[in-house]
């Protein structure tokens, strides 16, 4: 069988995503005790900072019997201009899987094209599919199902938002995005998924959260957009997730944030630390879903 990659949510079918989330749940509960990565190595290439992604993949590999290599692109030859396609072929001769976090999504696609081992997207400017796996698991823990659930995305139409759109399309739940003009999600991703499920893009956060089961947001300036931070802070006025906005959602609604969060910008302290927040479970779930993903691709 040829190798499988995980560059975006639609790389997996709905059935495969459900199997992955089920396996992650069994790993979390302790019911799963296998070590399918015994003797195997994951190369983790980072061109951007990370806490959760780095720690979840490294600890996850270890718990499954394998070993992880942290490769900052500043320190490997990639950062000095060695081509991605050469890095892909060299790593493929030595390790069993590659997880990469970088800027251009096309770079990850090129890495996957030239690698003969599974490649996992640990975040690009376009997508963050690994985080969405954790968000889906956290949503399932809260509601038992995704069927009939509505997710409201408030803020930037960024990599997280694009991956939520993909998840909604593959799994068939409703997603409403509230964002300022000029900060909409990727048009192609929106259109592909709008053909599969109910999607809305609005400039009104209250319209997006009305009766929603999941309310979620992210920073206004992602990694690589630091120079635009002031201009973005202005554009995103009115997109703060606060208790008043949460009251418009379903009474049992949960709040998710991939973290790191900027308290007082995209979300208030009261919501982030409040009774509806599941952000710490969501962060922990990175470990369980990353393990399930590696077991499926590299095990
Ligand atoms: N949510 C997330 O991907 O966090 P890190 O940037 O810390 O990996
Ligand atoms: N949208 C954020 C997510 C960080 C995990 C970023 O790309 O910086």
pLDDT in tens, 161-215: 999 999 999 999 999 999 999 999 999 999 999 999 999 999 999 999 999 999 9
CA-wise closest residue to 63 among 99, 38, 94 = 38
Residue-level pLDDT at 275:
98
Residue 95 and residue 92: Cα distance in Å, rounded? Answer: 6
Residue 275 contacts by C-beta under 8 Å, 6 or more apart in sequence? none
Residue 159: CB within 6 Å of ligand 2?
yes
Residue 67 and residue 124: Cα distance in Å, rounded? Answer: 24
The per-residue pLDDT for range 37-49, each reduced to its tens digit, is: 999 999 999 999 9
Residue-level pLDDT at 2:
87
Residues of the chain with pLDDT under 70: 1
What percentage of the chain's residues is helix, strand, coil (to nearest 5)?
A: 45, 15, 40
Task: Tell whether the torsion through CA atoms of 185, 187, 188 and 191 is positive or negative.
Answer: positive
Residue 42 contacts by C-beta under 8 Å, 6 or more apart in sequence? 57, 61, 66, 67, 68, 69, 95, 96, 97, 98, 99, 294, 298
The owner of tokens 């069988």 is 1
CA–centroid distance, 159 to ligand 2, in Å, is 7
Residue 244 and residue 182: Cα distance in Å, rounded? Answer: 25
pTM, to two decimals: 0.98
Residue nearest to atom 4 of ligand 1 (CA): 52
Residue-level pLDDT at 1:
62
Q: Which residues form the catalytic set?
A: 101, 128, 131, 218, 258, 286
Task: Tell whether the torsion through CA atoms of 46, 50, 54 and 56 is positive or negative.
Answer: negative
Enumerate helices (H) and strands (E) in the chain, giving the number of each.
12, 9
- Confirm if 298 and 96 have CB atoms less than 8 A apart: yes
Counting Cα atoms < 13 Å in the Cβ hemisphere of 21 gives: 24
Site to substitute for ligand 2 among 54, 55, 100, 123, most atoms within 8 A of C-beta: 123
Site to substitute for ligand 1 among 44, 258, 285, most atoms within 8 A of C-beta: 258
Residue-level pLDDT at 153:
99
Phi, psi angles (nearest 5°) of residue 226: -55, -35
CA–centroid distance, 283 to ligand 1, in Å, is 9
- Confirm if 253 and 294 have CB atoms less than 8 A apart: no
- Confirm if 74 and 45 have CB atoms less than 8 A apart: no
Residue 197 contacts by C-beta under 8 Å, 6 or more apart in sequence? 168, 169, 172, 173, 174, 175
């Amino acid at each position: 069988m040829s190798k499988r990659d995980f560059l975006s949510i639609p790389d997996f079918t709905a059935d495969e995503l459900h199997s992955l989330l089920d396996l992650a749940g069994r790993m979390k509960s302790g019911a799963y005790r296998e070590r399918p990565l015994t003797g195997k190595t994951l190369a983790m290439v980072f061109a951007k900072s990370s806490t959760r992604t780095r720690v979840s993949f490294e600890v996850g590999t270890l718990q499954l019997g394998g070993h992880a290599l942290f490769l900052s692109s500043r320190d490997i030859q990639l950062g000095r201009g060695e081509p991605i396609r050469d890095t892909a072929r060299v790593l493929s001769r030595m390790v069993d899987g590659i997880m990469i976090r970088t800027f251009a999504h096309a770079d990850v696609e090129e890495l996957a094209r030239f690698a003969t081992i599974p490649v996992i997207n640990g975040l690009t400017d376009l997508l963050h599919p690994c985080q969405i796996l954790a968000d889906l698991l956290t949503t399932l823990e809260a509601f038992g199902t995704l069927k009939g659930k509505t997710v409201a995305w408030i803020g930037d139409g960024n990599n997280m938002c694009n991956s939520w759109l993909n998840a909604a399309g593959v799994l068939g739940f409703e997603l409403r995005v509230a964002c300022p003009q000029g900060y909409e999600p990727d048009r192609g991703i929106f259109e592909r998924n709008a053909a599969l499920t109910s999607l809305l893009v609005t400039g009104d956060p209250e319209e997006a959260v009305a009766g929603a089961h999941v309310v979620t947001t992210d920073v206004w300036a992602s990694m690589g957009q630091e120079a635009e931070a002031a201009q973005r802070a202005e554009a995103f006025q009115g997109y703060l997730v606060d208790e008043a906005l949460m009251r418009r959602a379903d009474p049992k609604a949960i709040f998710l944030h991939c973290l790191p969060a900027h308290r007082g910008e995209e979300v208030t302290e009261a919501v982030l630390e409040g009774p509806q927040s599941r952000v710490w479970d969501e962060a922990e779930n990175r470990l369980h879903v990353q393990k399930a993903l590696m077991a499926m691709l590299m095990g």
